[in-house]
Every structure is written in C-alpha cells, then in structure tokens.
C-alpha cells in the first residue's frame, strides 16, 4: 500500500492539490478566493494530464534525435495547452464578473452579499 503510494507520488500530489482547491472553492466566502481555488484545481488536473504522458527513462518525443523504444507522449502537452487557454478565458470572465459584483453590491464576501444596493 505504502509502496504503491510512493511509486505514484505524482498522483497523490495531484489529488491533494485538487482537494485543496475544491476545499477553498467551497469553504471560502470571498469570491476572489473561490476563483483562486478554481485555478488550483485546474493546475492539479493539468499536472495530472502532463504526468500521464511521462515514461521513466523515456526519450523526449523529438524525431531529429532519433527515438528509442520508449518515448514520452507529446499529446498530453497539446491537451494541457488547450486546457490552459480555456482556463484562462474562464478566469478572465469570472474576474470581470467579480468587478461588476463589487460595483453593484459593494462587497465580494459571499456572506455579505444581500440585495444589490
């Protein structure tokens, strides 16, 4: 059990990071912190996808250098790059909305948000 945990230390780290982000999302009342929690979760998922392309002792996937029998998969990087673009756009929209919430309600603490002023 412990052996398995150590050999997949990356998965453990990713899970911890994901849960930390989710906790911040749920437990924190500040809208900005919620968005930061979201970003932490995103980072966790991206890190997970990148690590799945890795092979221990594998070559980098560069054709000019000649490929050995084992080489890292380049596809996850392309996926994560797309994912980052999507995540940045979502964050941008969220931040713009938070600015408007602040203007309309005078606060960005979830508990203090009542009726708009």
Partner 1 sequence: MRALAAFADWPHLLPALFLLPLAGAALLPALLRTRPAVAWASALAVALATTMLAVLALVRLLGDGDYGYAMAGWAPPLGIELRYDRLSAITLLTGALVSLALLFARREMTGAGRRQAVLYCSLVLILLGGMNGFVITADLFNLFVFMELLSLPAYALVAMSPARGAALAALKYLLPGAVSSLLVLFGIGVLHALTGSLNMADVAVRLTPGGPSPATVLALVLISVGLLVKAALFPLHFWLPDAHSAAPGPVSALLSGLVVKMGVVGVVRMFDVFGPALGGAMQAFENLLLILGVLAILTGALAALVQHELKRMLAWSTVANIGYIFVGLGLAGSAAVSGGIAHVFYHGLTKAGLFLAAAALVERTGLHDIDDLRGLGHRMPLAATALSAGLIAVAGVPPTAGFVGKWQIALGALEAGRPELLVVVLGGALLALAYGMRVINALFFRAPVSDQVVTASEAPASMLVPSVLLVALALAGGLSGARVIEFILPFAESLGGR
Contacting residues toward partner 1, per CB under 8 A: 18, 22, 25, 31, 34-35, 38, 41-42, 45, 48-49, 52, 73, 75-76, 79, 82-83, 86, 89-90, 93-94, 97-98, 100-101, 104-105, 113, 115-117
Report helix, strand or coil for 80: helix
Shortest spacing between CB 83 and partner 1, in angstroms: 6
Distance (Å, rounded) from C-alpha 38 to C-alpha 102?
A: 19
Token readout for 86 is: 């999507």
Q: Token match 């606060």: residue?
A: 107
- 105 to 27, 97, 112: CA distances (angstroms): 21, 12, 9
Classify the phi-psi angles of 102: left when phi > 0, otherwise alpha if psi is within -120 to 50, otherwise beta: alpha
Shortest spacing between CB 54 and partner 1, in angstroms: 10
Give the residue with the Cβ less far from partner 1, 62 or 103: 103
Shortest spacing between CB 109 and partner 1, in angstroms: 12
53 and 70 in contact (C-beta within 8 Å)?
Answer: no
Give the residue with the Cβ less far from partner 1, 70 or 104: 104
Give the residue with the Cβ less far from partner 1, 55 or 62: 55
Shortest spacing between CB 66 and partner 1, in angstroms: 22
């Amino acid at each position: 059990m412990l052996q398995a945990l150590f050999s997949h230390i990356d998965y453990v780290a990713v899970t911890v990071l994901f849960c930390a982000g989710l906790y911040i999302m749920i437990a924190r009342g500040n809208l900005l912190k919620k968005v930061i929690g979201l970003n932490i979760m995103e980072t966790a998922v991206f890190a997970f996808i990148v690590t799945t392309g890795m092979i221990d002792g594998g070559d980098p996937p560069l054709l000019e250098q000649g490929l050995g029998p084992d080489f890292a998969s380049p596809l996850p990087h392309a996926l994560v790059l797309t994912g980052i673009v999507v995540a940045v756009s979502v964050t941008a929209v969220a931040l713009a909305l938070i600015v408007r919430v602040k203007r309309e309600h005078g606060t960005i603490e979830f508990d203090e948000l009542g009726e708009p002023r």
